[in-house]
């Protein structure tokens, strides 16, 4: 799987409410560091985008352009030139207004407006998107994913602040000098005077272009087709159907085989942390654990690194994570509670969870937040194994139940 985008909900580890997206991309292989130049709000009505294309061509650099529907409609030839030059094009919605707290119909209309404009310009469909102002929510992520725009909005790691009229060419240039391997650089080629950005990029590529490879974002090289959410073993009327569709479209899980989800199968601890890690955007972190039973290259390796790094799990004992052991309901809600910032809540109604149990507060949070209401009005069944249907529903509910 390619480098992924930051997600919300579980990303409260980083921020509460709307998520301002930032974080490292996975650097690509090779001896020369890779940098991803990105440009928002275009293409420009003036010559900036066209001149940027010339500058990039002069240095053999590729970039990703996040375009808006009105600008595409006014400048179809420039959009076609971006595509013809081998750059990637991402969807920046139909204008620079936020996508927070919008209805599914409104979100899809906004994304489709840009897709239709791209088609009219002869450009391929986008396979990624960036949120205006960098702020998204689970509902916007799901609407975009349903149109093949990826599981969530593209982030950045370096902000040149060229969007501010107070930022000088020299300051943009100085920020560009800070980039390193895997960085995603936020710049703008539309919605205002971007001559300072053009000048800074020209200077940077002239002076330091040989220090890096400049490539299009891997997540923006797809075919614009959404992942399949058509599972023959998930009926539309089931209580977990919406959660499974969300998990498939946002690539939290793609099922157990073509057209198969296996909702009743038990979930292992390795699978559980992987679901949470993917929902958090697959952040890349340094290993901080010494679990001898987490093999290098295992599908859950990075997820365990992330979970241990963020205090979501400390394993089952010294040097042991137990990746193949089934996860219990108590463990599952504890992982989620820790990932959501360990909120303190009041009492719960479950007689099988004592106040001195290590999972008492996670269970109380899960009950109060609607993640789960237990196995009966008065029982939680903390030692019971969690199924795939249950776990994706727990995670989906913690993401505020986005639906289409």
Question: Tens digit of pLDDT for each residue in 314-336?
Answer: 999 999 999 999 999 999 999 99
- Other residues' Cβ atoms within 10 Å of the Cβ of residue 306: 25
pLDDT 10s digits, 200-256 = 999 999 999 999 999 999 999 877 778 888 899 999 999 999 999 999 999 999 899
**Most confident of the following: 27-31, 142-146, 356-360:** 356-360
Report CA-CA distances (Å) from 54 to 50, 62, 208, 270.
7, 11, 17, 48
**Using a CB cutoff of 8 Å and minimum separation of 24, what contacts does 28-34 make?**
28/182, 28/213, 28/215, 28/218, 30/213, 32/211, 32/212, 32/213, 33/180, 33/181, 33/182, 33/211, 33/212, 33/213, 34/181, 34/182, 34/212, 34/213, 34/214, 34/215
DSSP state at residue 19: E
> What domains are defined for the chain?
10-220 (3.20.20.370), 241-398 (no CATH)
Rounded CA gap, 62 and 6, in Å? Answer: 23
Rounded to two decimals, what is the model's pTM?
Answer: 0.79
Among this protein's residues, is 92 annotated catalytic?
no
Q: What is the phi/psi pair of residue 349, to 5°?
A: -95, 10
Is 229 in the active site?
Answer: no
Which position among 87, 92, 188, 348 bears the catalytic label? 188
* Whether pLDDT at 26 is above 60: no
Q: Is the pLDDT of residue 12 over 60?
A: no
Q: Say which residues have a Cβ less than 8 Å from residue 222's Cβ, sequence separation at least 6.
A: 127, 128, 148, 150
Task: For the chain, give the percent of residues with pLDDT over 70.
Answer: 93
Name the token pair of 98: 């936020």
Listed ranges 46-55, 97-106, 131-140, 289-298; the one with the highest mean pLDDT: 46-55
Determine the number of helices (DSSP H) and then strands (DSSP E) in the chain.
13, 8
Point out the catalytic residue in the list 40, 41, 94, 229.
Answer: 40
Give just the sign of the alpha carbon dihedral 302, 308, 313, 317: positive
Alpha-carbon distances of 76 from 44, 56, 222, rounded to whole Å: 11, 19, 21
Residues 317 and 70: their CA atoms lie apart, in Å, by: 57
Q: Which of 188, 163, 160 is nearest to 66 (CA)?
A: 188
């Amino acid at each position: 799987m390619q480098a992924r985008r930051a997600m919300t909900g579980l990303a409260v580890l980083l921020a509460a409410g709307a998520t301002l997206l930032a974080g490292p991309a996975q650097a690509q292989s090779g001896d020369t560091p890779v940098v991803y130049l990105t440009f928002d709000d275009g293409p420009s009505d003036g010559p900036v985008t066209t001149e940027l294309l010339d500058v990039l061509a002069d240095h053999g650099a590729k970039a990703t352009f996040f375009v808006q529907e009105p600008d595409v409609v006014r400048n179809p030839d420039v959009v076609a030139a971006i595509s013809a030059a081998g750059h990637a094009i991402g969807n920046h919605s139909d204008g620079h207004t936020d996508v927070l707290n919008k209805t599914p119909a409104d979100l899809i209309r906004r994304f489709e407006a840009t897709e239709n404009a791209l088609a009219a310009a002869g450009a391929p469909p986008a396979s990624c998107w960036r949120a205006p102002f960098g702020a998204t929510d689970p509902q916007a992520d799901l609407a975009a994913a349903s149109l093949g725009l990826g599981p969530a909005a593209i982030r950045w790691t370096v902000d040149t602040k060229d969007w501010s009229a107070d930022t000088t060419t020299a300051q943009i240039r100085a920020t560009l000098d800070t980039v390193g391997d895997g960085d995603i650089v936020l710049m703008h080629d539309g919605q205002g005077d971007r001559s300072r950005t053009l000048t800074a990029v020209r200077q940077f590529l002239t002076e330091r272009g040989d220090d890096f490879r400049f490539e299009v974002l891997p997540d923006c090289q797809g075919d614009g087709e959404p992942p399949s959410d058509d599972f023959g073993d998930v009926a539309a009327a089931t209580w977990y159907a919406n959660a499974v569709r969300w998990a498939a479209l946002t690539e939290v899980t793609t099922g157990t085989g073509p057209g198969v989800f296996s909702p009743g199968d038990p979930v292992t601890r390795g699978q559980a942390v992987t679901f949470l890690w993917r929902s958090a955007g697959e952040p890349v972190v340094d290993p901080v654990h010494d679990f001898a039973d987490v093999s290098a290259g295992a599908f859950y390796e990075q997820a365990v690194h992330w979970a241990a790094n963020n205090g979501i799990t400390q394993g089952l004992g010294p040097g042991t994570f137990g990746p193949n052991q089934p996860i219990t309901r108590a463990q599952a809600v504890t992982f989620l509670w820790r990932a959501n910032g360990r909120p303190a809540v009041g009492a719960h109604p479950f007689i099988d969870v004592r106040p001195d149990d290590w999972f008492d507060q996670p269970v109380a949070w899960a009950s109060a937040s609607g993640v789960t209401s237990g196995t009966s009005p008065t029982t939680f069944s903390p030692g019971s194994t969690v199924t795939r249907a249950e776990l994706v529903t727990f995670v989906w509910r913690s993401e505020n139940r986005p639906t289409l």
